[in-house]
Amino acid sequence: MKKHGMLNSHISRVLSDLGHTDIIVIADLGLPIPAGVPKIDLALKLGTPGFQEVVDLVAEDMVIEKVILAAEIREENPAAMQYITGKFGNDAVNASISHEQFKALTRHAKAVIRTGEATPYANCILQAGVNFG
């Protein structure tokens, strides 16, 4: 049994398999998941686990070079926008695509991790970086 880090075996496997520029999605309850993209469903009840908690835990084990958000998050969920920019910095965050474009990008994800989050646009695409020079 693992002692530290991501204990969820499905998430741990996906993170271990990521290459540079591969993407995963952290999703709220309502984001549609494209056919063929693996879904790791963590939702236990409305709000649990939350978006921020899952992003924090995934970020502990993943080298993240870019975060993609739907532009609608600015108006519809400013708290989530503030959290993401505070965590990753403005240079790493792209919030200039529409929610429709965001959903289209999810088709290329290695996995979608579904949270119990029930606030609008609490979704992000995390693009993998590398942990060397």
Placement of tokens 């088709």 in the chain: 107
The one catalytic residue among 4, 10, 20, 108: 20
| Upstream peptide bond of 49 is cis (omega within 30 degrees of 0) | yes
Q: Is 122 annotated as a binding residue?
A: yes
Query: Binding site annotation covers 4?
Result: no
- Alpha-carbon span 67 to 125, nearest angstrom: 6
Rounded to an integer, what distance in angstroms lies between the CA atom of residue 130 and that of residue 19?
A: 8
Whether 108 is catalytic is: no
- Is residue 28 a known part of a binding site? yes
Q: Would you give the distance in Å from CA 18 to the centre of its chain? A: 14
* Residue 22 annotated in ligand binding: no
83 in a known ligand binding site = no
Q: Which residues of 85-110 are buried (b: 16+ CB within 10 A; e: fewer)?
A: bebbeeebbebebebeebbeebeebb
Residues annotated as catalytic are 20
- Tell me the binding residues for substrate: 28, 99, 121-123
Q: Which residues are part of a known binding site?
A: 28, 99, 121-123
